Amino acid sequence: MITVLETSPLNTVQDCGRPGYRNLGVGSSGVMDMLALRAGNILLENQPDDACIELQTFPFLLRFDAPASFAVTGIDADMELDGRKLLPWSAVTASAGQTLRIGPPRNGARGYVCVAGGIDVPVILGSRSTQLRGGFGGLSGRFLEAGDTLGIRPGGASCSGYAVLPPSVALKNGNDTETPGVVTLRFIPATDYLLFTEQSRAIFRNCEWKITPQSNRVGYRLSGDKLQLTNPVELRSYGIVPGIVQVPPAGEPIVQMADANTAGGYPRIATVIEADLWRLAQARIGSRIRFQECSYEEGVDAMRPVEAWLENMKLMVSRYRNSCMRRESGKAGGKK
């Protein structure tokens, strides 16, 4: 069991999300940075969709009430286990009673506390993710609070002492004309792209967009130049998936994210490709992003290095853990 000792609002239990209920108006939820969860679960040899704690506000303190292996992914930050400094993106084992403190990130915006076995909250509509709007899933459908206790599912093996390179290093955007401090996101033009003026399309691609404080798990509101339609359009409500970029009448785009409504009605200019959504999830309020057009095929191919990175990680982790276990059984006096 884990006890939350200190937290601000906005921190929740999340897993890979709750697909399959958008036709009932239930958004997918799930972690904003899917790579961080998948990497954390690989590090701990969990199931890919085991649940974690998503941190958006810091510092965050928790106590392990029983021994547990864990990994903190997604961010680079000062983190300590009973005062001992820890590396992010590494597997660590805590003894019962130890306290984990995670400070504000130096890099990234969202941290993920993954625990061997996964966080144990009831599965509702196929997922452990917190559905904030609907008020269900996660821990009672709400943000975590100091004093909350969370179960850990049994079966997690204890092993530690290894780490992975974060995706910000391992998955540098190859096709970038990168400006330092500006995150490049590749997009595929969406339904109404050509209904925007040629000038607006050029602005969309060339402008550096600032992430406004009105950005959260629902969506990112961007500020920059105004985008205009050639002629006004009246749209009927249509389905929404994370990554879709809509332009409300005021002309500044919104990128829908994990907690997006399932339906919307604003014109759709673009969709950020799946392979780059984690970059946006880790971009902070006040930072700048840039959109780079790609084709459908390029968008599909962009997932390859991501999957290769995760596959390789799986292999390395399993090799390391096997050799660990052999050494352990050797020490215990077992025959070779």
Binding site for other proteins (CB under 8 A): 19-26, 124-125, 131, 133-134, 136-137, 188-191, 193-195, 198, 201-202, 205-206, 236-239, 241, 243-244, 261-264, 268, 271-274, 293, 295-296, 299-300, 303
Return the number of the residue (205 or 210) whose C-beta is nearest other proteins: 205
The owner of tokens 């005062």 is 83
Task: Please report how close the Cβ of residue 52 comes to other proteins at its closest, in angstroms.
Answer: 21
Least distance from other proteins to the Cβ atom of residue 131, Å: 8
CB of 237 to other proteins, least distance (A): 5
Q: Say how far apart CA 273 and CA 275 lie, in whole Å.
A: 5
Dist CA 321 CA 66 (whole Å): 22
Nearer to other proteins, 99 or 261 (CB): 261
What is the smallest separation between the CB atom of 87 and other proteins, expressed in angstroms? 33
Give 3-state DSSP helix, strand, coil % of the chain, rounded to 5.
20, 30, 50
106 versus 133: smaller Cβ distance to other proteins = 133
- The strands making up 111-115's β-sheet, listed across from edge to edge, are 12-14, 52-55, 111-115, 68-73, 90-94, 162-163
Minimal distance in Å, beta carbon 104 to other proteins?
A: 30
> For other proteins, which is the closer residue by CB, 95 or 206?
206
Kindly tell me which of 134 and 151 has the beta carbon lying closer to other proteins: 134
Q: What is the rounded distance in angstroms from the CA atom of residue 61 to the CA atom of residue 4?
A: 6
For 319-323, the CB contacts below 8 A with 24+ separation are 320/162, 321/45, 321/157, 321/159
The residue to which tokens 């130890």 are assigned: 98
**Nearest distance from residue 45's CB to other proteins, in Å?**
25
Q: What are phi and psi of 115, to 5 degrees?
A: -125, 140
Closer residue to other proteins (CB): 152 or 281: 281
Beta strands in 121-192 (DSSP E): 149-152, 162-163, 182-189
Q: Of the two residues 9 and 239, which places its CB atom closer to other proteins in the complex? A: 239
* Closer residue to other proteins, CB minimum distance, 65 or 274: 274
Query: What is the Cα–Cα distance from 323 to 99, expressed in whole angstroms?
Result: 29
Q: How far is the CB of 294 from other proteins (least distance, A)?
A: 10
Angle value at C-alpha 140, between 219 and 255, nearest 5 degrees: 5
Residue that the structure tokens 């599965």 belong to: 123
| Shortest reach from residue 110's CB to other proteins, in Å | 21
Whole-number minimum distance, CB 261 to other proteins, in Å?
A: 5
Which are the contacts of 88, defined by CB distance < 8 A and separation ≥ 6? 72, 73, 74, 75, 76, 77, 79, 111, 166
From the number of C-beta atoms within 10 Å of its C-beta (0-12, 13-18, 19+), residue 96 rates as exposed
Pick the closer one to other proteins by CB: 190 or 324.
Answer: 190
Helix (H, G, I), strand (E, B) or coil at 261: coil
